[in-house]
Chain A
């Protein structure tokens, strides 16, 4: 029955519109088609203005969608509009044109797209594979050294790709470290400075997302499924296959997010493929933005094409997950059991972990050491000594402390708001196979990732600096509030995807049973869903916090004049060739975030009730 019919009847009956409830199962239907959505939103907006009492009656889900429209859809759509109607945002004279596409679609761009596609797929697959292997080793085996990996993953998340690239460069360059200690790095350099290097660096950046998404889901998966395979004659490999199949929503989440992150990358590709003539899709976009006057229509046209890649990724995901259920987390799940690794397996996993640690974290750490502990520009060949003068210099500088506090505060608020929104998103995404709304959300979220940050931020300026917005008395552009909203929007896609695995595992009866036994929606959420998902939510919070702390492109475009986020401070220090000072600031910011991570996990360990820790625990 259509909603309109229901509303008509309600009006006819004159019944009070109280206590309406959305059934859990029907989220998708409730959201309905985009056409209805926008209609709904406009209608709701006008209501919202009138009175508070009426606002209370708006479906909570409608409010959620309204927010999604405001912080994601509107900026993205406005930016995309520039390609076909430059005059609308004063970026040209034509009201409708396709010339931006003609300008963008050069041979180089098409090659770039193919390259980006290959890079994206390779990075996504390798990251997901490593993420899974790591999750398995950390959660399901007694491999030595497994405990440090949560910390390592957050360190990776925090490590800027410039430090990773820098570390590799310092190792491999002519007269670099490897050559100084007597290795000829020429061959390796030829391989690394090009697609291989790009994939390596992007994979290192992709591993945290993959690991967090997959390990969250693996925690919720009891041991009985593996046992079932083993009992029925399947070997260890077959058991792992079954686990991978059950983790499909998380695996695809990881693949999609890493893919989207990779195709939107420009910095890594431009640094590492600098002289190997390996154009990527974003090259044309950056060139259009780099030149002045900035050519937004062309940047927008390239963004349209990036969206095509995202749609392809989502298409693959939906095909793979269609019509399957992955609800395995409920009262009957039992804690998993750790495998006792044999001696050989122990050696193999130790070597794997050590290699991963060295490649992923060792190299950028080396880069950071080279840049920040050595005076000047980090040459090892000279008489430079390792010293802490850069740290002494920046640690007392107000250029570090004020921006760091500002960013840390914003990151904490953004993380707190984001995990709530992300939990709702993840729930919708978990059902995405079944509902139009879920699919649209999926597309919007992934689009936000696939568009380079600077483009996304420009969309924010278009949307919230419109003269019409100002004339309504809303001056939100240039405020910390808008920066915060943009942070939330930027973090929402990856945080949601990290939670998808968990949210698709919770059995619906968990919350239903609470409602049936007398708890309202909010109390049910707080007393049942929150504890069951406590650990993944904590992880998601930390992910958002750490990712937001050092977020750059949005900070650059949207930070209010006079307030400087730490990432902008670091970048402008680096931009003034103060590599030592900039990197020292960066390292200190990273350490501060790692302290937050450590404190958060310690609190969870000592303060959370025993029952919370049962879930996803391992015996």
Chain B
């Protein structure tokens, strides 16, 4: 089939040319193994935070170190990191939740670094002893957002939600589609059964919640939509999304979103970690980035990037004031041990999918 295939050759050659072109540009831009002390190498930041792009810009402006941001959802980023395992290409990972970092550290992929930050109380709870990764702020799971125009009863504990007043009125996200939701489920399991008695008590709680008419929507946005349209009156979502909704929506006679925190709130920190595999130059640069993120200047930038979303975090370092729209930090909170709850994720999500959803 010469005529077709000759012609295929053309395509192949064109591709080969493209490929080669690609190779040469990378050769210039990717990390080289030999590094000289004063040489600047670009950092590769895998991030899923609303403020990651502005932070990268601010950091480059301050230090002159270029940062290439791969801004995406947490799921694809972690998939990418897992697939790159035998040859990592990232220098920094910055996403919500510490379970992934605990797992990365267990596999020896993280460079331990203790930044020169002054942690506040919450920060001290979150920082791992070995400094394998660092929190840069925290949200909690869940914020209970409710429509004050439609209902008057406001729960204070999770047990309250099992009562008749809340029948068929509560909604939450699907852990197989919403990143922050597994930490929420794990948090309740931790609170109810704990690492000693396992997940059975937590499962029993969700089963009862389901019996009381719990509704499950894919993600934060869908749960909020259900709340707006009156399909539910109470939604269990991430604190930043809940607070963001109260900022974005002008209250009406029919819809007045308000947020409360039930006992206990599970901390869902935004976490940054450094790839152990990068060369010394990049390691040094990455450490600078972490220090910058925890500095007052950096925290201020983080608070501007996504004013109705991810910027609505509570600081974990002293000397930083949270955005004014955020309510006071919930007094009853807990940190769940990522080393224990991380590995249970697949099991719990599957259970949730087949039993609760």
Are B3 and A529 closer than 8 Å at their CB atoms? yes
Flag A18-37 by CB within 8 Å of B: 1 or 0 each.
Answer: 00011110110010000000
Instruction: Find chain B residues with CB under 8 A from A376 CB.
Output: 228, 248-249
Are A290 and B3 closer than 8 Å at their CB atoms? no
Which chain B residue lies CB-closest to A179?
B229
Instruction: Find chain A residues with CB under 8 A from B99 CB.
Output: 292
Instruction: Find chain B residues with CB under 8 A from A173 CB.
Output: 226, 229, 231
Bound CA–CA A268/B97 (angstroms):
27
Interface residues of A in 555-610 (CB under 8 A from B): 556-557, 559-562, 564, 568, 571-572, 574-577, 579
Tell me which of A319-327, A379-387, A538-546 binds B: A379-387
Flag B44-76 by CB within 8 Å of A: 1 or 0 each.
Answer: 111010100000000000000000111111011
Bound CA–CA A379/B45 (angstroms):
36
Q: Measured between C-beta atoms, what is the minimum distance from B302 to chain A in Å?
A: 14
Flag B204-240 by CB within 8 Å of A: 1 or 0 each.
Answer: 0000000000011111110011101111000000000
Q: Measured between C-beta atoms, what is the minimum distance from B231 to chain A in Å?
A: 5
Known: A377-B221, A382-B254, A521-B6. A556 touches B89 (CB 8 A): no
Bound CA–CA A427/B89 (angstroms):
39
Chain B interface residue bracket vs A: 35 or more
Are B228 and A296 closer than 8 Å at their CB atoms? no
Which chain A residue lies CB-closest to B338?
A292
Flag B169-203 by CB within 8 Å of A: 1 or 0 each.
Answer: 00000101100000000000000000000000000
Tell me if B161 is interfacial: C-beta within 8 Å of chain A.
no
Residue in A63, A381, A461 whose CB lies within 8 Å of B229:
A381
Residue in A89, A421, A454, A557 whose CB lies within 8 Å of B8:
A421
Bound CA–CA A63/B219 (angstroms):
46
Q: Measured between C-beta atoms, what is the minimum distance from A253 to chain B in Å?
A: 18
Are A461 and B80 closer than 8 Å at their CB atoms? yes
Are B103 and A293 closer than 8 Å at their CB atoms? yes
Tell me which of B289-297, B315-323, B343-351 binds A: B343-351
Instruction: Find chain A residues with CB under 8 A from B225 CB.
Output: 377-379
Bound CA–CA A423/B228 (angstroms):
51
Tell me if A176 is interfacial: C-beta within 8 Å of chain B.
yes
Are A476 and B346 closer than 8 Å at their CB atoms? no
Known: A381-B229, A420-B7, A561-B69. A292 touches B78 (CB 8 A): yes
Residue in A59, A421, A561 whose CB lies within 8 Å of B45:
A561
- A27, A60, A378: residue with the most chain B Cβ atoms closer than 10 Å: A60
Tell me if A90 is interfacial: C-beta within 8 Å of chain B.
yes
Q: Measured between C-beta atoms, what is the minimum distance from B338 to chain A in Å?
A: 10
Tell me if A277 is interfacial: C-beta within 8 Å of chain B.
yes
Tell me if A522 is interfacial: C-beta within 8 Å of chain B.
yes
Instruction: Find chain B residues with CB under 8 A from A334 CB.
Output: none
Interface residues of A in 339-357 (CB under 8 A from B): none
Instruction: Find chain A residues with CB under 8 A from B7 CB.
Output: 60, 420, 423-424, 521-522, 525
Instruction: Find chain B residues with CB under 8 A from A30 CB.
Output: 1
Residue in A108, A524, A562, A572 whose CB lies within 8 Å of B354:
A108
Instruction: Find chain A residues with CB under 8 A from B241 CB.
Output: 577
Tell me if B151 is interfacial: C-beta within 8 Å of chain A.
no
Are B5 and A424 closer than 8 Å at their CB atoms? yes
Chain A contact surface mostly: helix
Count of A interface residues, CB-CB < 8 Å:
99
Instruction: Find chain B residues with CB under 8 A from A560 CB.
Output: 68
Tell me if B87 is interfacial: C-beta within 8 Å of chain A.
yes
Bound CA–CA A338/B346 (angstroms):
58
Task: With A287-B350, A568-B71, A577-B309 given, name 20 new contacts (CB 8 A).
Answer: A24-B2, A27-B1, A60-B9, A63-B5, A64-B9, A173-B226, A270-B174, A275-B216, A275-B357, A279-B353, A286-B176, A382-B252, A382-B255, A454-B76, A454-B79, A476-B22, A478-B26, A480-B25, A481-B23, A577-B221
Q: List 23 A-B contacts (CB under 8 A).
A: A60-B2, A270-B174, A279-B353, A379-B229, A461-B84, A462-B83, A465-B83, A465-B84, A467-B86, A467-B87, A475-B23, A475-B30, A479-B23, A481-B23, A484-B22, A524-B3, A525-B6, A557-B79, A557-B83, A561-B68, A575-B219, A577-B241, A579-B221
Interfacial residues, chain B to chain A (CB-CB below 8 A): 1-12, 14-15, 18-19, 21-23, 25-27, 30, 44-46, 48, 50, 68-73, 75-76, 78-80, 82-87, 89-90, 99-100, 103-104, 107, 174, 176-177, 215-221, 224-226, 228-231, 241, 244, 248-249, 252, 254-255, 306, 309-310, 342, 345-346, 349-350, 353-354, 357
